[in-house]
Chains A and B, each alone.
Chain A
């Protein structure tokens, strides 16, 4: 089934197994992402959520089917994936690896990205001296400097406490509204998904078990009755694919 059309990222009947002797992680998955949309993938652990992102950015190749990615893509990792021997600024400048600019321009843009995320004053700090939330912000800034069309977020809030998560969710929501980017995020939190997503994919048992369109006006609140209903519905779907 060809689902490409105008989309930035298209999965055509994608199946994936890490080894032919191992069970498939994804089985016959098809979907496409429209430009400037925010899609969140939720589902039980081991359901293939992160694998799907790795396939989207080309870190793994599908065993069957095809992935078409037409967008300049960057990824924010669960751990932040910062290099401990580089300062926050130097980590952000790693984002220029495939489109170098002169040193002055790289510095200016890296500082601007840190300022955008509210951590300009930590530019010279090493990752070990930053909090979890600050590290994740550096990771997002590093992805931003490449001015990606498609931003992949792999469980970016999973290692953070509730308060930090809430602040960072707001930050990502603001970025989504202000930047001309498409977001694809993997999350274990249905609540975060409902606050951020235009569309939620529930993934489990190797495939997409359900899709939900979230048409609640932005900015959204977690305690909004409509949001709460969607959370309940998504959790029911996840429970169904978990057994």
Chain B
């Protein structure tokens, strides 16, 4: 059977590359996983995963699911808030001159430095999960907001005017013109957001490292906290297993979610 001809879309480049499913899995999953695991194995000298750790596979998958749910929740929140923030900043020059510098500063803020305060705030409200969600959300939202602003600026003036000329309501213009036009930049922004989200997730789940000892904050169950705990305990095999699952999950999301969305986004781009 002939292999189906596919294309690989890079969110960082304008080009798409011809590929096959075998090539894609090899370069998108096997190679990155092998590289990360090899580096991890060399660093920890754990050259194999002992049989006992196969029993932990279920736990690791559950932890991965929990982490993905956390990421997804924060991502949805960043879309719901980030898109309106972007639209608001682009609404007119005066508003933009005020909001853009504010966004720039907030984006550059080292949110981890404020993490202990955030944890204590959420401890008071009895919702520790909220601290992790908030910090992941805060790392994601700026990519979404700036992608929205960039996308709006790239929209041809004629297209913007067309919606008004043809009598579309404000909601109609948003739904039928603005939102589809924002699809390509938002896919790219989402990829960058998720990448930032994964970075922060690892520490957001290991709350004990950031909260004051008296706060009583424990770790959240997830792949990030397992990585940190395994590393702290010198449990190298568990560390490698968690890393392997994490890399495979990220690669799978790239293939199953981002690649189709990047391919679809091509159709929404203005020439």
A binds B: yes
Total A-B residue contacts, Cβ distance less than 8 Å: 59
Please provide the chain B residues from 141 to 167 with a CB less than 8 Å away from any CB of chain A in the complex. 156, 158-159, 161-167
- A54 interface contact, C-beta 8 A: yes
The listed residue (A80, A97, A127, A154) touching B166 by CB distance below 8 A is A97
Complex-state Cα separation, A32 to B156, whole angstroms: 30
On whether A84 and B166 interact (CB within 8 A), knowing A79-B158, A94-B176, A97-B172, the answer reads no
Q: How far is the CB of A226 from chain B (nearest CB, A)?
A: 35
- B73 interface contact, C-beta 8 A: no
With a cutoff of 8 Å between Cβ atoms, the chain A residues found around residue B158 in the complex are: 77-81, 154
- B269 interface contact, C-beta 8 A: yes
Q: Is the CB of B268 within 8 A of A74?
A: no
With a cutoff of 8 Å between Cβ atoms, the chain A residues found around residue B167 in the complex are: 97-99
With a cutoff of 8 Å between Cβ atoms, the chain A residues found around residue B181 in the complex are: 83
Interface size on B, residues (CB 8 A): 22
Complex-state Cα separation, A154 to B163, whole angstroms: 16
With a cutoff of 8 Å between Cβ atoms, the chain B residues found around residue A77 in the complex are: 158, 161-162
The listed residue (B156, B168, B180, B183) touching A98 by CB distance below 8 A is B168
Complex-state Cα separation, A146 to B176, whole angstroms: 18
Interface size on A, residues (CB 8 A): 26
With a cutoff of 8 Å between Cβ atoms, the chain B residues found around residue A97 in the complex are: 163, 166-168, 172
Q: How far is the CB of A143 from chain B (nearest CB, A)?
A: 9
- B16 interface contact, C-beta 8 A: no
Q: Is the CB of A84 within 8 A of B270?
A: yes
Complex-state Cα separation, A77 to B270, whole angstroms: 15
Name the prevailing secondary structure of the A interface residues: loop
Nearest A residue to B161 via CB reads A59
With a cutoff of 8 Å between Cβ atoms, the chain A residues found around residue B23 in the complex are: none
Q: How far is the CB of A48 from chain B (nearest CB, A)?
A: 16
- A31 interface contact, C-beta 8 A: no
Q: Is the CB of B159 within 8 A of A83?
A: yes
The listed residue (B159, B176, B180) touching A81 by CB distance below 8 A is B159
Q: Is the CB of A85 within 8 A of B267?
A: yes
Q: Is the CB of B172 within 8 A of A83?
A: no
Nearest A residue to B159 via CB reads A81
Complex-state Cα separation, A93 to B163, whole angstroms: 12
Please provide the chain A residues from 58 to 91 with a CB less than 8 Å away from any CB of chain B in the complex. 58-59, 73-75, 77-81, 83-85
Please provide the chain B residues from 242 to 267 with a CB less than 8 Å away from any CB of chain A in the complex. 267
Complex-state Cα separation, A99 to B167, whole angstroms: 9
- B177 interface contact, C-beta 8 A: yes
Complex-state Cα separation, A154 to B165, whole angstroms: 13
On whether A84 and B269 interact (CB within 8 A), knowing A78-B158, A79-B158, A94-B176, the answer reads yes
With a cutoff of 8 Å between Cβ atoms, the chain B residues found around residue A57 in the complex are: 165
With a cutoff of 8 Å between Cβ atoms, the chain A residues found around residue B268 in the complex are: 84-85
- Name the residue among B159, B180, B268 with the largest chain A CB count within 10 angstroms: B159
Complex-state Cα separation, A94 to B161, whole angstroms: 13
Complex-state Cα separation, A85 to B176, whole angstroms: 10
With a cutoff of 8 Å between Cβ atoms, the chain A residues found around residue B172 in the complex are: 97
The listed residue (B161, B162, B267) touching A84 by CB distance below 8 A is B267
Q: How far is the CB of B243 from chain A (nearest CB, A)?
A: 39
- A174 interface contact, C-beta 8 A: no
Q: How far is the CB of B178 from chain A (nearest CB, A)?
A: 11
Closest 9 interchain pairs by CB? A98-B167, A81-B158, A77-B158, A81-B162, A97-B166, A97-B168, A79-B158, A85-B268, A75-B165
Residues of A whose CB lies within 8 Å of any CB of B are 54, 57-59, 73-75, 77-81, 83-85, 94-95, 97-99, 126-128, 142, 146, 154
Interface contacts beyond A77-B158, A81-B158, A85-B267: sample of 4 additional A-B pairs, CB < 8 Å, sorted by A: A77-B161, A81-B161, A98-B168, A128-B271
